[in-house]
Amino acid sequence: MTSFLQYCVNTLGYLRLMTVSDLIDIAILSFLFYKCIGIFQRTNAAKVAKALLLIIVAMWISYQFNLNAISFILNKAVELGLLALVVIFQPEIRRFLERIGSNNVSRISRFFRNETPVSDVEEAIQETVEAYGEMSKNRVGALMVFERETNLSNIISSGTPFQSTVTSELLKNIFYPNAPLHDGAVVVRQGKIAAAACMLPMSESMNLSKDLGMRHRAGLGMSERSDAVVAIVSEETGAISVVVNGNLRRHLSPETLGRILRNELLPREESASGKRRRPSLPFWKGRGGES
């Protein structure tokens, strides 16, 4: 009991010595740890993290029991492992830096352009829901990407430039089988179609369901690298899916699609009707699972 009280007294003494810079330092480290945990959860990095944890435990045991040979080997393995980690996590590190850079560019660009009218986004959502409902019935494949904070100029440049209002008829014509632009994705920026037939990066996850086609894998890949909202219609089954933050929800009704798009794309502040929009619900967990 005495040792516990002494520990508490020492802890309070350390807390009194903390400054504002210490708090900022702790906050930054906590944020970085949080992001690293998120990367581990979304990729195969969790397996590597478990292996690192085992190595650390083995190093501690070898130190405690004076196992000099094992300790020497593990220390050398850790030194070389730091370089190996950079190689192993190169895709994740690249995506992390890309998202930071594109988010900063997007925030800066908003100072030099007008905010997107809510009516444009609402109209784009309504037209998308109508088109997806019909394409789902007719089993016409579709893939749309709605840009948010992350700048998608590199994706837009890979397709055919557009500068058009989103309409149901236009979307059905773009995705009509054997139409010139039906392959690839339509990118919507600020409620307008920015490009069609865009090439999206494929997901590198090894844990995807076997029945997912190329559109779903491309949608997941786009969502893993950005904060975009991706809407998909399966050509095989006609099922409607949405991907947000690397999470996939499948077999949605057109009404559910519209509700999700409004929650994710429309501002949280009071809408033009004067009603306060409710905050976005916590998104679904799992990848490639049924809704």
User: How far is residue 145 from each of residues 103, 231, 265, 291, measured CA to CA in Å?
Assistant: 16, 7, 11, 20
Of 228, 227, 203, 206, the C-alpha closest to 215 is: 203
The domain that holds 240 is classified in CATH as 3.40.1700.10
289 within a domain of the structure (yes/no): no
pLDDT band at 278 (very low <50, low <70, confident <90, very high): very low
The answer to whether residue 279 is domain-embedded is: no
Mean pLDDT within 128-154 = 94
CA distance 283 to 207: 19
Same domain, 99 and 122: no
Flag whether 244 is in a domain.
yes
Any domain includes 48: yes
Same domain? For 21 and 84 the reply is yes
Residue 92 lies in a domain: yes
pLDDT score for 275: 44
Predicted local distance difference test score (pLDDT) of residue 270: 37
Supply the DSSP string of 218-249, one letter for each residue: HHHHHHHHSS-EEEEE-TTT--EEEEETTEEE
The highest-confidence range among 36-50, 80-94, 209-223, by mean pLDDT, is 209-223
pLDDT at position 112 = 45
107, HSE (Cβ side, Cα atoms, 13 Å): 5
Q: Are residues 125 and 105 in the same domain?
A: no
Contact 203, 188 (CB under 8 A): no
Tell me the C-alpha distance between 151 and 49, whole Å: 31
Whether 247 shows a pLDDT value over 80: the answer reads: yes
pLDDT at 102 over 80: no
* Cβ proximity of 91 and 203 under 8 Å: no
Q: In this model, does residue 198 exceed pLDDT 80? A: yes
Structural domain of residue 21, as residue ranges?
Answer: 2-109
- Are residues 153 and 223 located together in one domain of the fold? yes
What pLDDT is attached to residue 150? 87
145 and 15 both lie in a single domain: no
Say if residue 49 is in the same domain as residue 69: yes
pTM of the prediction?
Answer: 0.60
Picking from 79, 109, 139, the residue at the C-terminal end of a domain is: 109
pLDDT for the residue numbered 277 = 44
In terms of residues, how long is the chain? 291
- Whether residue 122 sits in one domain with residue 105: no
The verdict on 74 and 141 lying in the same domain is no
Exposure pattern of 154-174 as b/e (b: 16+ CB <10 Å)? Answer: ebbebbeebeeebbbebbbeb
| Separation of alpha carbons 174 and 41, rounded Å | 36
The fraction of the chain above a pLDDT of 70, given in percent, is 74
Residue 108 burial class via C-beta count within 10 angstroms: exposed 0-12, middle 13-18, buried 19 and up? exposed
How do strand 240-244 and strand 247-252 relate by DSSP bridges? antiparallel
pLDDT (average), residues 204-224: 87
Number of domains composing the chain: 2
